[in-house]
Amino acid sequence: MCSLCGVLGGSGHWTDAAARPGVFTRNIDPLQHRRERAHRIACASRVLAYYGLTLSDWQASSFVLSTATGKTELVEDLGHLWAAAEKLLGRPCDPLDPDLIVRLEGSND
């Protein structure tokens, strides 16, 4: 735990699985960990833009999720990201939403 902010470490989410034999993870060394975090922010931002949200890194340990009006939530991992986004928005974030799919397909062209 960070003694300044009280954030618990050791995420149990499968996308941040602890490195051990037989487990696939990018949580192996600090450099790879930072690379993955930066890429995760870039990927998530494409989706979050649909909802008017932005994601940024926080101390290489958490992420800050923000609305256009400045409301923020600190999220530890992807397991908490979407719940936090729904809380900020007050509506569901559904990957099966046809409008979101059309938007992403459009941005891929």
* Rounded-to-integer distance, Cα 103 and Cα 49, Å: 10
User: Closest approach of Cβ 101 to another protein, in Å?
Assistant: 5
Read off the amino acid at residue 33.
H
Q: Are strands 72-75 and 62-67 parallel, antiparallel or unpaired?
A: antiparallel
User: Minimum Å distance from CB 64 to another protein?
Assistant: 17
CB 55, CB 43: distance < 8 Å: no
Smallest distance from another protein to CB 29, Å: 14
Residues 9-48, mask of contacts with another protein (x by CB under 8 A):
-x-xxxx-xx-xxxxxxx--------xx-xxx-xxxxxx-
Map the footprint of another protein across residues 50-109, applying CB under 8 A. 78-79, 81-83, 86, 92-96, 98, 100-101, 104-105, 107-108
Query: Which of 92, 68, 69, 74 has its CA nearest to residue 82?
Result: 92
